Amino acid sequence: MADVEVFIGDLSDGAFHYEGGDWNHNYPKRISEFFPKGYELFFSVLDDIYYNRVEGRQTDWGSHTCPMYPNEIFALLEDYYKRDMENSKVQELFEFVKQLDPYRQYGLVACEMT
């Protein structure tokens, strides 16, 4: 299996097309670090999409993108990382999300990295 990662992407990236695209590298430009425990979170995000707990879709052969506001990203991560809140990488991720524009959507991207 390929490496998988989760990150926050810029939905205003002109090369990214949420509605369509050619499925070759069609994911928003990464603006965050890769998330801690990305392998496990990748499958959790896919489950959330497929069970309609979050809006999202496959946008690339190996990527799924969820348009989310920072408070939605924060809530999803808070639930996922509830046992790892003392981890410094998790704390850095939460600080990054807190600094995002609260009135703008970003892409939560679950992506296979080849």
Instruction: Tell me the average confidence (pLDDT) per consecutive run of 10 residues in the chain, 114 residues long.
Output: 87 92 88 92 94 95 96 95 93 97 98 82
- pLDDT tens column, 7-33: 999 999 999 999 877 788 899 999 999
SS3 at position 94:
helix
Q: The whole model's pTM is what?
A: 0.93
Q: Give the per-residue pLDDT at 1.
A: 47
How far, in Å, CA of 16 to CA of 67, rounded?
12
